């Protein structure tokens, strides 16, 4: 009980004023009026919490932190949900995993220390990488996404990996790419499976340290958050700096040598890159530095941006699709022909929302930040 109270204190949930501002801005609440962040806080604090642990809506929260941006007493709602989910998981409660739970099972399987993987078949002769060095590229789950989504969603997640290495090579960097890298564990952390997250973190830190890396670059905001902040929170200090590729491109955009690339684009702020890490200007400056690229902002952007509608591969449902279609419509209304995001999951979810009847589709291209940057490189 003391441990539970301590966790509630850390999330500041005890300070909830029941003002409802969280519910007013929650993307889930907008399309599902049975969901309310305020109600779930009250259920945990005032009504014993037993019904809360078995509430299926517990797994719908996006942990996007939009509610915390509006909270007048700074309740850390995402952290509250993480801890309640951990308690629910301990009693055998679980949500509704998307894609048959395949990705969650992968995360659990790769936590096996003796596992040996084939993760680097995507590296062609045109890409320069090495086994040890100062700069390491953390690929994340892109190889798994390739097998699961490339055919159905008509894009190659591994193109993000190839183009990231291409950009690094153009900057004179031959990055380390690990043969036996594991999933960063981000999703397990927010689903409350903290022990399994710790196992993945220890394995990854061991591999990174053995490679001698001083800087870790990733094209995934969730990997960046896990490596930069969550590993430190759970496992102690790490011996490397972490950068999302958008930060590096912004810092060294004058060294890349961009050609003319006529394009009207709008930018999707991934919640893990924006609200969690405060990285808003870097991708915008980088995109705007490409000759011919015109950036058109959506009304809800930066700190107020709406996320891609589902997270942690859990409880992806009709509400998620409504959020995604609403965001795609907002992007289309800017006059842009391409929606650029800097998170592989965002692209998967937006492309998934485009599946279905032709009459329901929203005609706007979706691409990743590194793909558009790489396509603008001279030569």
Q: What is the DSSP string of 187-254?
A: HHHHTT-HHHHHHHHHHHHHHHHHHT-SEEEES-HHHHHIIIIIHHHHH---SSEEEEHHHHHHHTGG
Beta-sheet strand order (sheet of 241-244): 135-138, 215-218, 241-244
pLDDT of residue 189: 97
Domain locations in the chain?
2-90, 99-250, 258-375
Q: What is the DSSP string of 282-338?
A: HHHHHHHTSTTEEE---SS-GGG----S-BTTB---HHHHHHHHHHHHHHHHTT-SE
Bridge-based pairing state of the strands 241-244 and 263-268: unpaired
Q: What is the CATH number of domain 258-375?
A: 3.40.50
Asked, colleague to colleague, whether 2-90 and 99-250 share their fold, the answer is: no
pLDDT of residue 271: 97
Helix (H, G, I), strand (E, B), or coil: what is residue 183? Answer: coil
Which residues is 242 bridged to in the sheet? 216
Give the residue from 135, 211, 208, 138 showing the smallest Cα distance to 174: 135
Task: Name residues whose C-beta falls within 8 Å of residue 244's C-beta, 6 or more positions apart in sequence.
Answer: 217, 218, 219, 221, 224, 273, 277, 279, 282, 342
Looking at the structure, give the CATH architecture of the domain made up of residues 2-90.
Answer: Orthogonal Bundle (1.10)
pLDDT of residue 351: 94
**Contact yes or no for 150/156 (Cβ under 8 A):** yes
Helix (H, G, I), strand (E, B), or coil: what is residue 165? Answer: helix
Task: Name residues whose C-beta falls within 8 Å of residue 106's C-beta, 6 or more positions apart in sequence.
Answer: 141, 144, 183
pLDDT of residue 50: 76
Which helix H or strand E contains 215, and what residues bound it?
Answer: strand 215-218
pLDDT of residue 42: 86
pLDDT of residue 49: 67
Helix (H, G, I), strand (E, B), or coil: what is residue 33? Answer: coil
pLDDT of residue 3: 47
Would you say domain 99-250 falls under CATH 1.20.1050?
yes
User: How far is Cα 325 from Cα 312, in angstroms, rounded to an integer?
Assistant: 19
User: How far is Cα 308 from Cα 296, in angstroms, rounded to an integer?
Assistant: 18
Which stretches of the chain score pLDDT less than 50?
A: 1-3
Task: Name residues whose C-beta falls within 8 Å of residue 111's C-beta, 6 or more positions apart in sequence.
Answer: 182, 185, 196, 199, 200, 203
Helix axes 344-353, 318-333, angle to 10 degrees: 100
Q: What are the counts of helices (DSSP H) followed by strands (DSSP E) for the chain?
A: 19, 7
User: How far is Cα 188 from Cα 248, in angstroms, rounded to an integer?
Assistant: 28
pLDDT of residue 359: 56
């Amino acid at each position: 009980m003391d441990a539970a109270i301590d966790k509630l204190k850390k999330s500041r949930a005890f300070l909830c004023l029941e003002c409802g501002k969280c519910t007013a801005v929650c993307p889930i609440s907008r399309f599902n009026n049975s969901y309310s962040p305020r109600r779930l806080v009250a259920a945990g604090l005032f009504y014993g919490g037993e019904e809360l642990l078995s509430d299926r809506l517990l797994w719908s929260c996006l942990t996007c932190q939009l509610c915390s941006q509006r909270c007048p007493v700074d309740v850390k709602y995402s952290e509250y949900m993480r801890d309640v989910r951990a308690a629910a998981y301990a009693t055998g409660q679980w949500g509704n995993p998307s894609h048959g739970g395949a990705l969650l099972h992968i995360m659990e399987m790769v936590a096996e220390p003796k596992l040996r993987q084939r993760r680097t078949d995507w590296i062609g002769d045109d890409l320069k990488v090495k086994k040890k060095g100062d700069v390491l590229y953390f690929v994340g789950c892109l190889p798994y996404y390739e097998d699961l989504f490339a055919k159905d969603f008509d894009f190659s997640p591994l193109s993000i990996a190839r183009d990231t290495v291409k950009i690094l090579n153009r900057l004179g960097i031959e990055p380390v790419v690990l043969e036996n890298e594991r999933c960063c564990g981000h999703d397990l952390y927010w689903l409350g499976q903290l022990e399994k997250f710790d196992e993945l973190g220890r394995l990854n830190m061991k591999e990174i340290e053995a490679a001698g890396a001083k800087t870790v670059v990733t094209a995934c905001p969730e990997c960046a958050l896990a490596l930069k902040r969550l590993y430190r929170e759970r496992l102690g200090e790490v011996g490397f700096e972490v950068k999302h590729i958008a930060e590096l491109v912004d810092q060294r955009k004058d060294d890349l040598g961009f050609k003319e690339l006529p394009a009207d684009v709008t930018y999707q702020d991934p919640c893990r890159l924006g609200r969690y890490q405060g990285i808003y200007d870097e991708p915008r400056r980088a995109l705007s530095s490409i000759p011919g690229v015109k950036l058109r902002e959506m009304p809800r952007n930066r700190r107020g941006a709406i996320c891609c509608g589902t997270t942690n591969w859990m409880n992806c449902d009709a509400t998620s699709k409504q959020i995604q279609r609403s965001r795609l419509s907002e992007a289309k209304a800017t006059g842009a022909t391409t929606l650029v995001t800097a998170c592989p999951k965002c692209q998967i979810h937006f492309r998934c929302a485009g599946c279905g009847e032709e009459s329901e589709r929203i005609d706007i291209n979706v691409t990743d930040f590194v793909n558009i940057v790489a396509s603008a490189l001279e030569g």
